[in-house]
Structure 1
Amino acid sequence: MRIKTLAIVSLLILLFAAPSSVVAQDSWTYQRCLEYALSHNLTLQQSVLQKRLAELTLKQNRLSQLPTINAGASGGYRFGRSIDPTSNNFVTQSLFNSGLSLDISADLFGWFTKQNNIAASKYQLYANNFLLEKARNDMGVNVANAFLQILLANEQVKLSKSQVALSQAQLDNTKKLVAAGSVPESNQADMEAQLARDSSTLVDAQNNSIVRVLQMKALLNLDFAVPFATVLPENIESVPMLNLSETAPEMVFSAALAAQPQYKSDEMMVKAAERTLASARGALFPSLRFSAGASTNYANTNFEPWGPLRPTVDTIGLVTVNGTDYKVIRPSATSDIRKVPFTDQLSNNFGQNIGLSLSIPLLNAWQLRGNVERAKIDIENKQLTLDINKQQLRQDVYTAHADAVGAFQKYQAAISTERASQKAYDFATKRFNVGLMNTVEYITTQTNLFKAQIDKVSALYDYIFKIKLLEFYRDQRISL
């Protein structure tokens, strides 16, 4: 009785819950999924940031060739005995002083160290561009796989619904035969148990479909609450695919090697490492640098005469003549004094300098030599990375070709199995209806047909993905 109740509840869920969810969903084709993923996927956004960092590094290295210009300003109070910066005399009083400066320097010759750094960062930018392209291509593969998994899950749901409907019809027919006394009541119990098992399989298939959609939404960085329904191609079996008999793995590998962004990125990284080595070697030789500057200052203790002169007489001594003292005087002139204005002090104290400096590396704790050796090792490492990825690409192509051949053969076998199971089920149905086959044998035949149908659908989508993966290696794109 519990089994019968479970079957009825499952059917109610399928009849009333499923249609409403389909109506509310939005349609998503493979192309729409791919375009959305290319714009919103978080991993791709990280690749874009890496490219932007490479662009920034190249820009900085290019601008490093320009002269260095620095301006400065200072100001402060001094107390006690100190040197007046305007007169260079010692004074014992508090004073305020300020200064302005401008310094310019530029490298005249450095054995092309900066030029090699620019070239290295340029190749690194090229490498990041190829890595971004690779990330986009990989996203196409991942979206295609997720899309096909959703289509497969939906097909499994359809087959499970058909199986539930078939089991329900058989149960209804068996009830009539039991009521007429044509078959024993145990046949009805067996059919109810089969309906319950089919309903449970349907629930699992629907749950698997939901999980596949959630995985796709995570890949797209799409809100889980957004309605989502994939659009099935008109005839999935007619999707354009490669002819395996005319596709040799070595030919696919050659095409992949010419178009594979990962391989191109590795080549750019090798060239960048070679330029980095040239830059490290240039640092071992002398470098010539030009410098120039200007400065001025101000102090509040700097005074100067100010205003009209006033004649005065200064006594500079006494002279005694015949017992009489006479003053020795000197005529002079005095005036008021004022603090030298700020602008005047800046003009009066303005000074300039210009010079050349030659830097000769003699002993740097082996740092420069160490940089050269590290750059040499880095070249070897980048070359090994290129060779490893090339070898991995060849292995992936040959594996993809073998998998595609195996998937095609498995699909053909699944077609034959499904046809044979359908024929066996048709014969079993006729025998069961006339009472020549018991319920257990009939249910087994029905289960075998259902399994053959599921296996055929699974083999079809597996074959499509495997052949599309091989197509991706050849053309660096996937079409559905």
Structure 2
Amino acid sequence: MKMKSLAIASILAFLLFANPVAAQDNWSYQRCLDYALSHNLTLQQSVLQKRLQELTLKQNRLSQLPTINAGANAGYRFGRSIDPTTNTFVSQNLFNAGLNMNFDADLFGWFTKQNAIAASKYQVYAANYQLEKARNDMGVNVANAFLQILLAEEQVKISKAQVDLSMAQLDNTKKLVAAGSVPESNQADLEAQLARDSSALVTAQNNSIIRVLTMKALLNLDFAVPFQTELPENIQSVSLLNLAETDPEMVFSAALANQPGYKADEAMVKAANRNLASARGALYPSLSIGGGAGTNYANTNYRQYGAPIPYIDTVGVVNVNGSMYPAVKPGAFRMTELTPFGEQFSNNFGQNVGVTLSIPILNAWQLRGNVERAKIDQQDKLLTLDINRQKLRQDIYTAHADAVGALQKYQAALTTERASQKAYDFATKRFNVGLMNTVEYVTTQTNLFRAQIDRVSALYDYIFKIKLLEFYRDQRISL
């Protein structure tokens, strides 16, 4: 029995008096929220989605500018080929090079690009609303995690107080047993109760650690960083639910005006309408203007230079009175050389400009398929809007019912705790004078412990649910 008591005392000394080596760092709800908004990985993904939509809008806007492309080419040709500088056939190895530039611009396309730009604008609006919704949801998640930590810490405090009380009762009972006033079985019963209370304390402390780890994961905070919550002022004196100010239909009307998720759905419907108009515009003829310029070089292009050089060319013989004389013809020729690179580029430079009318007739049903897909997407976005609107109403009515139920549960828990405290006070007096046995006394003490835990749990459950209802109404949470 003495060894058992010594082991229990050692465990309790470790639990109650051991302090963490690392210094604690106080974290308020607002600090947790600010850190989460800057470091949470899911929010960072939402920021990237917003940037992608902004990039799409930028690309669609720039698509209205003319398309300009430049190119260069060089290569060898072998055997019979066409000289690009003279457009004649040559039968020799040919080296050629060229430069070209082309442009193309839309003149009229039934506002296809303009509608695509408008659709991208609404998609950017939707991305902004989605990011705002993600930030608001993060506020709810952080508030829930923060309240869970506070609840776990309160449970640890209650469990420690219960252990302290059991230790004090055990010490007093040991003295009474030694004096022969009470049987030794009373001491054994209290030692068993102390062991149960110590186990409950370990469970509460472990639960507190898990709640802190959950918060750190939400914040994307290193698990080795010290974390100590900063208790909000007047957290215990939370206001009661005002049914007039939190009527579910009134909250729903406010949510439709303020809820960014619903605004995002509306923006996506407008984007789908514009995408449908853009797809329909592609079914009609389009008018565009285009042009280009280019030049080339070939190593078969020669030029003449210098003054003509006369010469006599014998073309045959003639018979004059039986005598044969050569027949000659005077001529002249000029020296030749490969035309210089720059001169060829200058001589061969050409330009073109023209207008093109494009009439879609048969494109393997691609254009009409795009229209049908845009129609389906439009209907899908409308259904999404209606579904989310219905879900928002359901969530608000559910949150209101939960808040009312949590209030009633909290009030019942308060009543139970008061009654359990009164019963425990009477039991303590009766136990001290020997009018109650240990089992009955321990049962009364356990009932008070459970009532205290239930009251704290009901309190923080009610706080979260009333704050959730206020969040739907105001789109913000404050603790």
Q: TM-score, normalised by structure 1?
A: 0.96
Whole-Å separation in 2 of the counterparts to 1:174 and 1:114: 89
Give the match's secondary structure for 1:73. Answer: strand
1:340-359 to 2 correspondences below 5 Å: 340-359=339-358
Residue 9 (structure 2) aligns with:
8
1:181-330 to structure 2, matched below 5 A, reads 181-239=180-238, 243-330=242-329
Q: Could you say what secondary structure the match of 2:232 adopts?
A: coil
Q: Please name the residue that 1:432 is paired with.
A: 431
Q: How far apart, CA to CA, are the structure 2 residues paired with 1:3 and 1:125? A: 69
Secondary structure in 1 matching 2:190: helix
**RMSD, aligned CA:** 1.6
Q: Helix, strand or coil for the counterpart of 1:244?
A: coil
Counterpart position of 2:20: 20
Cα offset, 1:293, TM superposition: 0.8
Tell me the residue number matched to 2:55. Answer: 56
CA positional deviation for 1:333: 3.5
* Worse overlay, 196-205 or 85-94: 85-94
1:201-230: per-residue Cα shift (whole Å, max 9, x none)? 000000000000000000001111111111
**Partner deviation per Cα, 1:440-471 (whole Å, 9 max, x = no partner):** 00000000001111111111100100000001
Aligned-partner SS, 1:90? strand
Instruction: For 1:284 and 1:245, locate their aligned partners in 2 and report how far apart those are by CA, in whole Å.
Output: 56
1:129 aligns with 2:166: no
**Inter-partner Cα distance in structure 1 for 2:104 and 2:7:** 86
| Corresponding residue number in structure 1 for 2:96 | 97
**Which residue of the partner structure matches residue 155 of structure 1?**
154
Rounded to whole Å, the distance in 1 between the matches of 2:20 and 2:282 is 72
In the alignment, what sits opposite 2:374? 375
Distance 2:245 2:217 in 1: 37
* Aligned-partner residue type, residue 114 of structure 2: Q
Contact 1:67 1:104 in 2 (8 A): yes
Kindly indicate whether the alpha-carbon contact (under 8 Å) linking 1:78 and 1:94 is maintained by their aligned counterparts in 2: yes
In the other structure, the counterpart of 2:421 is: 422
Shift in Å, 1:384: 1.1
- Worse-superposed segment, 336-345 or 432-441: 336-345
1:74-121: CA deviations, max 9, x gaps?
111111222211122222221211111111111111111111111111
Cα displacement (A) at 1:241: 6.8
- Superposition deviation, residue 239 in structure 1: 4.8
Compare 372-381 and 283-292 and name the one that shifted more.
Answer: 372-381
Alignment of 1:380-399 (within 5 A): 380-399=379-398
Equivalent residue letter for 2:106? D
The one-letter code of the counterpart of 1:16 is F
SS of corresponding position for 1:306: strand
Distance 2:115 2:152 in 1: 55
CA contact (8 A) 1:314 1:330 kept: yes
The answer as to whether partners of 2:63 and 2:113 remain within 8 angstroms in 1 is yes
CA distance in 2, matches of 1:295, 1:325: 59
Can you give the 5+ residue segments of structure 1 that lack an aligned partner in the other structure? none
Residue pair 1:75, 1:98 contacting (<8 A) in 2 also: yes
Within 2, Cα distance between the matches of 1:244 and 1:10?
Answer: 49
CA contact (8 A) 1:411 1:460 kept: yes
- Distance change (3 Å), C-alpha of 1:299 and 1:371: same
Cα distance between partner residues in 2 of 1:98 and 1:242: 84
Once the two structures are TM-superposed, the CA of residue 37 in structure 1 deviates from its matched residue by 0.4
Cα distance in structure 2, aligned partners of 1:315 and 1:78: 38
SS across alignment from 2:86? coil
**After alignment, is 365-374 or 413-422 more displaced?**
365-374
Measured after TM superposition, the shift of residue 122 of structure 1 is 0.8
For residue 359 of structure 1, report the CA deviation from its aligned partner. Answer: 1.3
Kindly indicate whether the alpha-carbon contact (under 8 Å) linking 1:3 and 1:193 is maintained by their aligned counterparts in 2. no
1:78 matched to 2:51: no
The Cα of 1:308 is off from its aligned counterpart by 4.6
Question: Helix, strand or coil for the counterpart of 1:235?
Answer: coil
Whole-angstrom distance in 2 between the partners of 1:469 and 1:194: 39
Alpha-carbon distance between aligned partners in 1 of 2:238 and 2:287, rounded to the nearest angstrom: 67
- Distance verdict in 2 for CA 1:241–1:355, change over 3 Å: farther
Does structure 2 retain, via aligned residues, the 8 Å contact 1:418–1:456?
Answer: yes
Moved more, 453-462 or 358-367: 358-367
TM superposition shift of 1:249: 1.1
Whichever residue aligns with residue 160 of structure 1, its letter is S
Offset at 1:15? 3.0
Distance 2:470 2:27 in 1: 23
Question: How many positions carry a matched residue from both structures?
Answer: 478
| Stretches of 4+ aligned residues off by more than 6 angstroms | none
Distance 1:289 1:216 in 2: 59
The 8 Å contact of residues 252 and 474 in structure 1, kept in 2 or not, is answered as yes
2: distance between equivalents of 1:315 and 1:3?
Answer: 139
Which of 362-371 and 140-149 deviates more? 362-371
- Contact 2:241/2:404, CA 8 A, preserved across alignment: no
CA contact (8 A) 2:64 2:113 kept: yes
Q: CA deviation at 1:394?
A: 0.7
Shift, 1:371, TM fit: 2.0
Matched, 1:43 2:39: no
Matched, 1:407 2:406: yes
Q: Which moved more, 1:324-333 or 1:100-109?
A: 324-333
Whether the aligned pair in 1 keeps the contact of 2:159 and 2:200 (CA below 8 Å) is yes
Distance, in Å, in 1 between the alignment partners of 2:122 and 2:4 is 68
One-letter amino acid of the structure 1 residue matched with residue 276 of structure 2 = L
Range with greater deviation from structure 2 (230-239 or 213-222): 230-239
Give 1:3 shift. 5.0
Q: Confirm or deny: 8 A CA contact 1:4 1:196 kept in the other structure.
A: no
**Distance 1:341-1:240 versus aligned 2 partners, 3 A rule:** farther
